[in-house]
């Protein structure tokens, strides 16, 4: 059996060269997220669960018209995904005051926000993903204004979908982070939801 070429390895997954043109294989690891400077733990089976959860959510989003990079689940730990050009911007949607929003705005943790708030962060491990504005995004050509509009629109649709899904099982959706990519089909460009949701 030939070894696959590794394209990228992050905290939670490994991306390999795909088996079909224009695809990649996303492998979910058992590594737990860790605080800066601490050793990470391993949670047996975490990658399997993340793969199934991400597949379930991406499939549901496809059904409501939110384009994403999922092609299909390959096995317990892997998905076949479309190769996209990742936009170096993380989109954070907040519904409830938590995390650094407590410190930045002096608000009480757990407070319901009057409406969902969308924040942007530059995707950079070296810089610890600093918060940025739409002006930064366009000034540094990370995304064009129409692409930002597409990401915002999709992020709010994802929020509606996830909020309803979790509300149905008694869970309040505090916040979540999304990544987007450019999917090229010939000369046609489309912004799609990328990475994972788990």
Q: Which of 132, 131, 141 is nearest to 87 (CA)?
A: 141
32 and 66 together in one domain: yes
39 and 105 together in one domain: no
Q: At 112, is the secondary structure helix, strand, or coil?
A: strand
40-90 pLDDT tens trace: 789 999 999 999 999 999 999 999 999 999 999 999 999 999 999 999 999
48 and 116 together in one domain: no
32 and 116 together in one domain: no
Q: What percent of the chain has pLDDT over 70?
A: 96
103 and 64 together in one domain: no
Instruction: Quote the CA–CA distance of 57 and 115 in Å, as a whole number.
Output: 23
Domain boundary among 51, 82, 113: 82
Say which CATH number the domain at 171 has: 3.30.470.20
Q: Which residues contact 179 (CB under 8 A, 6 or more apart)?
A: 86, 87, 89, 90, 91, 123, 193, 194, 195
What is the domain range of residue 110?
A: 85-194
- Across residues 135-152, what is the average pLDDT? 98
Q: What percent of the chain has pLDDT over 90?
A: 88
pLDDT band with cut points at 50, 70 and 90 for residue 34: low
- The predicted structure's pLDDT at residue 1: 43
- The DSSP secondary structure of 31-88, one letter per residue, reads BPP--TTSPPPB-TTHHHHHHHHHHHHHHHHHHTT--BSEEEE-SSSEEEEE--EEEE
In a domain, 1, yes or no: no
- The predicted structure's pLDDT at residue 195: 93
Mean pLDDT (the chain) is 94
pTM exceeds 0.85 for this model: yes
> In this structure, what token pair is assigned to residue 127?
């810089």
52 and 97 together in one domain: no
**Overall domain count for the chain:** 2
Instruction: Quote the CA–CA distance of 118 and 101 in Å, as a whole number.
Output: 12
Instruction: Quote the CA–CA distance of 145 and 131 in Å, as a whole number.
Output: 18
171 and 75 together in one domain: no
Phi/psi of residue 132, each to 5°? -135, 170
78 and 93 together in one domain: no
Q: Which of 70, 98, 101, 66 is nearest to 83 (CA)?
A: 70
11-28 pLDDT tens trace: 899 999 998 999 999 999
184 and 93 together in one domain: yes
């Amino acid at each position: 059996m030939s070894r696959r070429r590794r394209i990228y390895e992050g905290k939670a997954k490994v991306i390999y060269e795909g088996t079909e043109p224009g695809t990649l294989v996303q492998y979910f690891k058992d590594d737990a997220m860790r605080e800066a400077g601490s050793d990470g733990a391993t949670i047996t089976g975490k990658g399997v669960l993340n793969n199934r959860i991400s597949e379930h959510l991406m499939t549901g989003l496809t059904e409501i018209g939110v384009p994403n990079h999922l092609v299909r689940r390959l096995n317990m730990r892997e998905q076949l995904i479309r190769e996209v050009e990742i936009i170096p911007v993380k989109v954070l949607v907040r519904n409830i005051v938590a995390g650094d929003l407590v410190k930045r705005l002096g608000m009480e943790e757990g407070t319901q926000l009057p409406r969902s708030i969308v924040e942007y962060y530059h995707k950079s491990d070296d810089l610890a993903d600093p918060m940025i504005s739409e002006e930064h995004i366009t000034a540094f050509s990370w995304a064009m204004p129409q692409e930002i509009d597409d990401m915002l629109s999709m992020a709010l649709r994802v929020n509606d979908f996830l909020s309803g899904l979790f509300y149905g099982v008694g869970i309040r959706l505090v916040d979540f982070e999304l990544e987007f990519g450019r999917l090229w089909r010939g000369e046609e460009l489309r912004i799609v939801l990328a990475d994972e949701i788990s």
